[in-house]
Amino acid sequence: PPTYSKTFQGPPHGIQVERDKLNKYGRPLLGCTIKPKLGLSEKNYGRACYECLRGGLDFTKDDENVNSQPFMRWRDRFVFCAEAIYKAQAETGEIKGHYLNATAGTCEEMIKRAVFARELGVPIVMHDYLTGGFTANTTLAHYCRDNGLLLHIHRAMHAVIDRQKNHGMHFRVLA
């Protein structure tokens, strides 16, 4: 019912805010998820981001399972991705971006990652909404709203919930 749905904030903005942050209008935003998503070192992952951004993409993003593995720790990945953004921006004269996956095992760790991304000047973080959990997402969403970060929701595992013909829930309801 409308009275119930109005009790949820929902997304604070749409694509227009992202366009404004990237200063990109009148065309589709071009981006990609870095592949291979697992196996690269932090430095090589950052290099792949740079090459994509320098080659003409507006943004790159982490995939859902790019998190903090022994071969690629989140903090170092964040630093190398931020360096890639700034180097590509300096060379192209365009604003670039990367969606850093802040998903973590606890809300406290997730906020720590979002804080670090903000300190690096990266304007957007990503959360694995369903695997991370509803409360974790709300926690991160409130932090992002209060601190000027955009929040990208990755919908890993959504098909288990929203693609069932006889039961389930539409992703717009989840959002």
Which amino acids are annotated catalytic? 35, 154
- If one counts every other C-beta atom within 10 angstroms of the C-beta of residue 10, the result is 9
**138, 116, 120: which is closest to 129 by C-alpha?**
138
- Contact yes or no for 102/110 (Cβ under 8 A): yes
Element (H, E) at 9: none
